[in-house]
Structure 1
Amino acid sequence: MIPYKRPQEKEMILRYVKLLDDSLAERIILRDSIESKEEAIHLANFFWQMVDPSNIEDKESGENSEYILEKIIITFMAYFNSSGYENEWDEVTDKR
C-alpha cells in the first residue's frame, strides 16, 4: 500500500492521471500498489511527467504545488524502497 501522508497527494496524482490521460498510472494508484518492474518504471516516469505541467500551471495560476510534490516524491521514494523497486526509481530519476 502506498503510504500517503496527506490525502492531497493522491488527489493531485489522480488529477494529473486525468490530465495526462495515463490509464496505467491510474490503475496503479487506484490499486495502491506496484505489481511489476514495468509498473514501477512507468509510475516513476509518470511522477516526473507530472512535475513539468505542474510547474507550468503554477506560473499561470500563481499557485505553488512544490510542497505537495515534495510530499509525493517522499511517499514514492519510501514506497519504491519498501516494495523492492528502489533500483527502478533510481534508474528513472538518474535520467532526469
Structure 2
Amino acid sequence: MLDFSGNDQKAKLVALHYANQFDDLITIELIENKREVTDKDEARKLAEFYWKMLDASAEDQENGVKVLGEVGLQYWMERLLNIVGGYLSSIGYEDEWNKVCDEI
C-alpha cells in the first residue's frame, strides 16, 4: 500500500486533490489504500499519474493557485516522487516506474 504515514498525510491530501481533479477513480482508491496495484498496466497508470500531477501542480504554481492553502507544492511533489516510486519498486514494478520516468 502507498505509505502516507507520519508527516506524509499532507502528501496524501495533495495526491487526492489531483486525482479528484483528474476524475481518476482507480488512483483515488490506491491513494486511499482501498486497493493495490495488481498488474503492469495499473503500475504504469500510477506512474503516469505522478507526472501528470507534477505538471498540474507546476501550472497551479505559475498561476498562483492555492492547493490546500499553499501556492507551490514542490516539497510535497518530492515526497510523492519517493512514495509512489518506492511503492511501485517494493511491489515489483520498478521497471514500469523507470520506463515512465525515462519517457518524460
- TM-score, normalised relative to structure 2: 0.84
Q: Quick one: which of 38, 45, 50 aligns to 1:47?
A: 50
Judged with a 3 Å threshold, the aligned counterparts in structure 2 of structure 1 residues 65 and 32 are, in CA distance, closer, same or farther, namely: farther
1:9–1:32 CA distance, 2 compared to 1 (3 A): farther
Are residue 29 (structure 1) and residue 37 (structure 2) matched? no
- Deviation at 1:4? 2.1
Determine which structure has greater relative contact order: mean sequence separation of CA pairs < 8 Å that are 6+ residues apart, divided by chain length: 1
Gaps of 5+ in 2: 66-70
Matched residue, 1:67: 75
> Shift of the alpha carbon at 1:32?
5.2
- State whether residues 30 and 36 of structure 2, in contact with CA within 8 Å, keep that contact through their aligned partners in structure 1: yes
* Bigger helix share: 1
- Can you give the 5+ residue segments of structure 1 that lack an aligned partner in the other structure? none
Match of 1:38 in 2: 41
CA contact (8 A) 2:47 2:85 kept: no
Q: Distance in 1 between matches of 2:96 and 2:40?
A: 7
User: Quick check: 2:2–2:30 contact (8 Å CA) kept in 1?
Assistant: no
CA contact under 8 A between 1:28 and 1:39: conserved in structure 2? no
Kindly report the root-mean-square deviation, in angstroms, between the aligned alpha carbons of the 2 structures. 1.4
Q: Secondary structure at the match of 1:61?
A: coil
